[in-house]
Amino acid sequence: MAATMSNVEEIRTRAVLGEFGVKNVHSSDFPGNYPGYDDTWNMQTFQKNFRIDIVNLEENSMEFDMVGIDAAIANAFRRILLAEVPTMAIEKVFIYNNTSIVQDEVLAHRLGLVPIKADPRLFEYRDAGEESAEEQGSEIDTIQLQLKIKCSRNPRATKDSSDPRELYLNHMVYSSDITWVPIGNQADVFADSVIRPVHDDILIAQLRPGQELDIIMHCVKGIGQDHAKFSPVATASYRLLPEITLLEPVEGEKAERLKRCFSRGVIDIEDVNGTNVAKVVNSRLDTCSREVIRHDDLKNVVKLARLRDHFIFTVESTGILPPDVLVTEAIKVLMTKCQRFLSELDSPSVE
């Protein structure tokens, strides 16, 4: 009976990586599916088991564990990060002069993809019915940027020089050449955080003497669902926590080969009474390549699995907002969705 219960527990909680496929991939923890298990939804049980552990937090990236949830909720959270957390991006490009070889449409598209360092929480969505005239927009829903630059010959360049960096001035147009033009009281409101492109070294165009750009841009608030330029993350992904179990001792040369089958840091060799013995050190680092299955004498001594309710999230911000802020905003969006759904359930149906 104990063996049967252990097998049931594995089916409910583990996805097992076999030689010819992956087992237990479907959700099976619903009421009445397994004798002896009460899988009915219970808020207290969920609150007890659910947790978020921050593993690594840097300026533009973070890794954290989300434990105790279903894959559907984890994936909804990922999709919200990609497409429903708002940012500010260039939406309207007014080109007054463009004598470069870059066409107006291509230039406008490249400018739109430049991430802008501006907190979207301080702005409102722009009315969809507004016209595209330059004078439209206000300090609460629009950021105005300007790109005005002209290329000329460098009078100090030597006659025998062929390097464009010496021959020309302003021949490389970078995102650092984009300047912020405050609207209304924005200069006072954002005095401590000047609005600018996130990166200064994004190449926009190359000019030659006599060519110039004179452009006004309007940034508005939007979400990645409308256009990828509004997405706040470079990537947001998750994977299940790997679990590696040695079914029997692995010693000597077999231990060395076993170690090489996995990513660095997963398997280590320890000395036990003068014999090298393999041990699992950190299965989290495993990429689940299943390289060990290629070895006939090793594939049956290792069990590869993944915990189905333990998600390792990786979030890389584009730099507009810190990754921990993005995660918090994504949680707020998910909460709003849930509240809207509950209110729809409570409201009387309209036929």
The predicted-structure confidence for 285-334, as pLDDT tens digits, reads as follows 998 888 999 999 898 999 999 999 999 999 999 999 999 999 999 999 99
| Residue 326 pLDDT | 96
- Residue 133, pLDDT > 80, answer no
The residue type at 65: D
Distances (CA, A) of 135 to 94, 119, 279: 11, 23, 68
In a domain, residue 98? The reply is: yes
Domains identified in the chain, total number: 1
How many angstroms separate the CA atoms of 282 and 242, rounded?
A: 9
What percent of the chain is predicted at pLDDT more than 90?
65
| Residue 229 pLDDT | 95
How many angstroms separate the CA atoms of 158 and 196, rounded?
A: 35
Confidence band for 2, pLDDT divided at 50, 70 and 90: very low
In a domain, residue 334? The reply is: no
Q: Which domain holds residue 218?
A: 87-231
Task: Provide the β-strand partners of residue 238.
Answer: 313
In a domain, residue 244? The reply is: no
Confidence band for 130, pLDDT divided at 50, 70 and 90: low
Residues 6+ apart with CB under 8 A from 81: 232, 233, 236, 315, 326, 327, 330
Tens of pLDDT, residue by residue over 152-168, are 999 888 888 888 888 99
In a domain, residue 35? The reply is: no
Q: What is the mean pLDDT of residues 195-207?
A: 95
Tens of pLDDT, residue by residue over 233-275, are 999 999 999 999 999 998 889 999 999 999 999 999 998 888 8
In a domain, residue 348? The reply is: no
In a domain, residue 290? The reply is: no
Total-model pTM:
0.85
Distances (CA, A) of 181 to 143, 198, 217: 8, 16, 10
Residues 6+ apart with CB under 8 A from 234: 316, 317, 318
| Residue 62 pLDDT | 96
Q: What is the mean pLDDT of residues 180-196?
A: 89
In a domain, residue 76? The reply is: no
Which CATH number covers residue 161?
2.170.120.12
Task: Provide the β-strand partners of residue 95.
Answer: 215
In a domain, residue 117? The reply is: yes
Asked if 43 contacts 68 with a C-beta cutoff of 8 angstroms, the reply is no
Distances (CA, A) of 15 to 2, 21, 42, 196, 239: 20, 10, 24, 46, 12
Task: Identify the CA nearest to 63 among candidates 323, 281, 283.
Answer: 323
